[in-house]
């Protein structure tokens, strides 16, 4: 199931903002295979945000409403 789930996540990472696409692709390349189940769920929750809101969080211009998103956001910022 992990392969199919990862395919779906990769598809969901195709966004309308080039900057966000680049960040997400880098994150996928470096971290997707190593994410545990909890981190994967958090990442999917982040992908539900609108492009501009997600980019603002990744760039540190906005903080997530839910603090449990912070660890994966830090991974995204470091990627």
Mean pLDDT of the chain: 94
pLDDT tens profile 25-44: 999 999 999 999 999 999 99
15: left (phi over 0), alpha (psi -120 to 50) or beta: beta
pLDDT tens profile 40-63: 999 999 999 999 999 999 999 999
- CATH numbers and ranges of domains, the chain: 2-78 (1.10.150.250)
pLDDT more than 90, % of the chain: 89
Query: How many CA atoms are closer than 13 Å to the CA of 50, on its beta-carbon side?
Result: 2
């Amino acid at each position: 199931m992990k392969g199919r789930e990862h395919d779906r996540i990769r598809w969901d990472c195709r966004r309308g903002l080039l900057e966000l696409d680049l960040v997400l692709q880098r994150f996928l390349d470096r971290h997707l295979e190593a994410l545990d189940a909890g981190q994967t769920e958090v990442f999917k929750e982040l992908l539900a945000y609108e492009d501009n809101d997600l980019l603002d969080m990744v760039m540190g211009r906005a903080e997530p409403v839910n603090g449990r998103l912070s660890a994966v956001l830090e991974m995204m910022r470091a990627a």
